[in-house]
Amino acid sequence: MWQDGRSVRVKICGLTRPEDAAAAERAGADAVGVVMCSDSPRSIGAGAARAVFSAVGPFTATVVVTHTADPGEIDRILALRPTAVQISYPHEVPADAGVRVIRVTGQGRPLPPGRADAYIVDESCGKGRPFDPAFARAFAERSSLPVILAGGLTPENVGAAIAAVRPYAVDVCSGVETAPGVKDHGLIERFIAAAKGTPQ
């Protein structure tokens, strides 16, 4: 299991509005994420992604989530210079691209090939489907890389999920929304407080 003794990190994902990114950072998010080149209702273009990322300071990580296998679209994503890209397909990200790579995995999927700096166990892809606790815990225990947990997480259940799986980080999208891509700032605050064990 990958552990470093620090509290769990939190990524607020599927952002479409700069004000939501700013609220996530104020609430203590370690990373903010946008979706690009995807059929997700939260997918945004490069200009909107740049605006979201510009709303946070230099110590908050920025992540682009994509489901594309098109090298040209990957290149456009890399041109934004995010901290990391989270990809579902075995596309190889150039080592000199200056970004971390998060590979998506889940129950029944082979371990994704290619360079990786972390894995995300995600059965949901923004649809609110819950993760499988047994699979997620077993994967986290045997991984030599940081493991991020996603899928069906909410302010009400994230604490128990962290206790069960002990991931490096948790990732929430629909669990803090009022509509796809529209975040509830109160839910963001509650989620981060619950994940980090901060009294409210």
What confidence tens digit (pLDDT) does each residue in 113-156 have?
788 999 999 876 555 567 788 999 999 999 999 999 998 999 99
In the predicted model, what is the mean pLDDT of residues 64-72? 90
Residue 130: CB partners within 8 Å, gap ≥ 6? 123, 124, 151, 152
Task: Indicate if the pLDDT at residue 59 is higher than 60.
Answer: yes
CATH topology of domain 9-196: TIM Barrel (3.20.20)
Task: Indicate if the pLDDT at residue 32 is higher than 50.
Answer: yes
Decide if 132 is catalytic: no
In the predicted model, what is the mean pLDDT of residues 50-60? 98
pLDDT for the residue numbered 1: 43
**Residue of 20, 30, 122, 171 marked active site:** 122
* Coil vs helix vs strand at 194: helix
Q: Provide the residue type at 167 as one letter.
A: P
Nearest to 82, CA basis, from 140, 5, 21: 21
87 vs 200: which has the higher pLDDT: 87
Decide if 125 is catalytic: no
Least confident of 1-15, 75-89, 108-122, 182-196: 1-15
Q: What is the mean pLDDT of the chain?
A: 90
The residues spanned by each domain of the chain are 9-196
Q: Measure the CA–CA gap between 76 and 54, rounded to whole angstroms.
A: 17
Count the helix, strand and coil residues of the chain and give each as a percent rounded to the nearest 5. Answer: 30, 20, 45
Cβ atoms within 10 Å of 67's Cβ, excluding its own = 18
Residue by residue, DSSP assigns 25-58 as HHHT-SEEEEEESSSSTTB--HHHHHHHHHTS-T
